Amino acid sequence: MRWAREAAAAGVLLALCAVACAQPPKALEPRPVREMGRLKMQSGPGESWSSDGFTVRLAARGGDIERGGTAQVLHGGKEVWSRSCEPSTIVRLMDLNGDGWPEVVLREFTGGTHCCNRHVILQMDRGKGSVRVLLEWDGEAVTLDNAEFAFLDGGDWARIVTHDGRFAGFGGLPFARSPFPRKVFAWRDGVYVAATREHPGWLRRFRDGVLPAIEGLAAQVRSRAGAALQAGDPVAGEQLEQEAEASRLSLRGAVLEAWIYCALLGEGDSMLERPDPEVKAALEWVRQRREQILSLIASAPF
């Protein structure tokens, strides 16, 4: 949802994890990842970054960005990895393990409405002069451009906290009213994997962070629906009713997001129950789609 994405962009992870990762007698402070360079697909000769025998290059085909292009990693002038890319491609050089040497984080937007963001994270091995793929992820409507990368719990590799887009448009919800629950990638056995369920403390905080929005949206629905009934002007009344319905859809999306966190935690949804009739209706709407939601959760690693 729009409010959820804005909260993510504001950098809630670092504030959240300072609490979630606190251990007596002293909390481990989350440390943001250092970005060491950025390349963008553009017309002309292209852009590159070089260090210690490696070169990362992003260049348009024939110098024309409209034709797409190629992302390359070279070592000693020899290509060790490459991939054809769409025009809207960005490469970031980010030190994901704190060793002073960057990993390659590539995001490719393949075109389309609310979709089509593909990602690759590569490790450049200076000892072997080779490249290893750490993550390949089709984020669909979600991009790692706005993800938060941070070192937590004293780990050697940064965690990546982003959103999951599989519920966009679920149950007929408009894209802007759909939930985009938080998703965590963590380092496991030499690669990045989806590991959201491994962070129950974070999941509870993500869920609890949605609750004020649920209550606020329910109040917004009541206010607008009440104003629509009292409006003397039919046109104004219709406009207010449309606004109330838009808020109902947002309320459904917020309740759905909180319900997803409950499901990922393996907990029931009783803590989402409220006496407010609008919240009751939204929760009932979600419960009626329980099996569809669980099936979507199980469809790909969370």
Q: Which of 105, 106, 42, 107 is nearest to 68 (CA)?
A: 42
Note whether 60 and 44 are within 8 A (CB): yes
Q: What is the pLDDT of residue 29?
A: 67
Q: Which residues contact 96 (CB under 8 A, 6 or more apart)?
A: 33, 102, 103, 105, 121, 134, 149, 157, 158
Q: What is the mean pLDDT of the chain?
A: 89
Taking phi over 0 as left and psi of -120 to 50 as alpha, with beta for the rest, 106 belongs to: beta
Residue 296 has pLDDT above 90, yes or no: yes
Please check the confidence at residue 15 and state whether its pLDDT lies above 90: no
The Cβ of residue 92 has, within 10 Å, a number of other Cβ atoms equal to 21
pLDDT the model gives residue 115: 81
Note the pLDDT of residue 27. 45
- DSSP category for residue 262: H
Residue 101, amino acid: W
What's the pLDDT band for 114 if we cut at 50, 70, 90? confident
Given a cut of 50, whether residue 26 has pLDDT beyond it is: no
Residue pLDDT, tens place only, 144-187: 998 999 998 767 999 999 999 999 999 999 999 999 999 999 99
Over pLDDT 70: what percentage of the chain? 90
Model confidence at 19, pLDDT cuts 50, 70, 90, reads very low
CB 80 within 8 A of CB 122: no
- Whole-model pTM: value is 0.86
**Which tokens in the block code for residue 6?**
């804005």
101-106: long-range contacts, CB 8 A cutoff, minimum separation 24: 101/52, 101/126, 102/36, 102/37, 103/134, 104/56, 104/73, 104/131, 105/144, 106/71
For the cut 60, the answer to whether the pLDDT of residue 258 exceeds it is: yes
Domain ranges for the chain, please list them. Answer: 2-196, 203-295
Q: Provide the greatest CA pair distance for the chain.
A: 76
**Confidence band of 28 (pLDDT split at 50, 70, 90):** low
pLDDT digits (tens, 9 = 90+) for 199-251: 999 999 999 999 999 999 999 999 999 999 888 888 888 999 999 999 999 99
Q: Higher-confidence residue: 106 or 45?
A: 106
